[in-house]
A = this chain, B = another copy of it.
Amino acid sequence: MQTAMPPAVEYLRPDPDGFRAYVRDHKQRALTPRVMDEHEAVAKFVADGDYLVYDCNYLQRGPASLIREIIRQQRRDLWIGAKFTYVALGLLIEAGCASRADVGFFGSRGPGFSRALRDGRLKLYEYSNAVMTLRLRAAAQGIGFIPTRSFGGTDGYLWSAARTIEDPFTGLPTVVLPALYPDVAIIHVHQADVYGNARVFGTGIAHIDTALASKKVILSAEEIVDTEELRRNPGLNHIPWFVVDAVVPAQYGAYPGSCQGVYASDPAHVAEVFGAMTQDKLGAYLEKWVYSVGSHEEMLERHVGVKKLLELRRRETVREGYTA
């Protein structure tokens, strides 16, 4: 039951012309290498107070190594586009990195999450996965808003930035969503060249739109491939170099999630992080998997090990469709 009246809801204001001016001055249209390690990429391109989106999530072909690096560097006051996500939001809250989230769906909460909400350290705004994805699609088209056939009539709608206007052609009531132009996006891809031309194989949530919509884009890539290799099949290159600011080589970058067609997830780790979430032991989880190591590679070396890494690849038995 709702008692409070919906407030004028805070949302990231779309500013298509502001975005244009930003990318004109900051995105590199020249084919210049932009490979760097995760430390440098996050240091350069994730700032306190940024609106952050990740495509997919910590457990499903997401930029898990970059999420850990953001926590390691202790970014503050991030506003998270929390669609299609499991533990990522919980980790960012526990680590003190996130203070706001636009929610589509986040699975797994826990006592730390409840405390943050109760103490006012976390504000949530209501959307859905599809609505958040549409907001990114609108931004990826360079426009300020977009109509949708969903979301109307829900309480999420009332507590969101969505509005209803009259369709200028049919006169029918039409829900419109503000475009979402995030400050920074982190995306895990199967292949990228040194310039940021990138491929994702298999399904995804909104990796292309997310890359286009965001002021700053960090890719973590399972493989760095030669540009000439990408030129052999241009139909597979969905993210163009000129929207990408940093390419971070990151084998097993989606660990503990799967990178489809390359390696399976680590169910033991998945259970560990869910358990830590519900048993209020995320502090220990972060200490082990994030703070105690200096890098993703060190984490793989010290806490995952060769045997496990080999097993993860062995357990991924499907290749069809995941190569050029």
Tally of this chain's copies: 2
A178-194 interface code vs B (CB 8 A; 1 in, 0 out): 10000000000000000
Q: Decide: B168 and A235 in contact? CB cutoff 8 A.
A: no
Q: Decide: A169 and B14 in contact? CB cutoff 8 A.
A: yes
Q: How far is the CA of A176 from the CA of B149 in the complex (A)?
A: 17
Q: How far is the CA of A233 from the CA of B235 in the complex (A)?
A: 13
Known: A165-B168, A168-B176. A149 touches B16 (CB 8 A): yes
Q: Decide: A233 and B321 in contact? CB cutoff 8 A.
A: yes
Q: Decide: B232 and A320 in contact? CB cutoff 8 A.
A: yes
Q: Decide: A235 and B321 in contact? CB cutoff 8 A.
A: yes
Enumerate chain B residues within 8 angstroms of A321, measured Cβ to Cβ: 232-235
Number of A positions contacting B (CB below 8 A): 32
Enumerate chain B residues within 8 angstroms of A1, measured Cβ to Cβ: none
Which of B15, B143, B172 is in CB contact (< 8 Å) with A149? Answer: B143
Enumerate chain B residues within 8 angstroms of A149, measured Cβ to Cβ: 16, 142-143
Interface residues of A (CB under 8 A from B): 13-16, 142-149, 161, 163, 165, 167-170, 172, 174, 176, 178, 201-202, 232-236, 320-321
A-B contact pairs, 6 of them (CB 8 A): A14-B169, A144-B147, A145-B167, A163-B169, A165-B168, A232-B320
For the complex of A and B, the 8 pairs showing the least CB-CB separation, nearest first, are A143-B147, A169-B178, A233-B321, A144-B167, A232-B320, A163-B168, A165-B168, A144-B170
Name 5 extra pairs, CB < 8 A, besides A13-B170, A145-B147, A201-B235: A144-B169, A144-B174, A146-B146, A233-B321, A235-B236
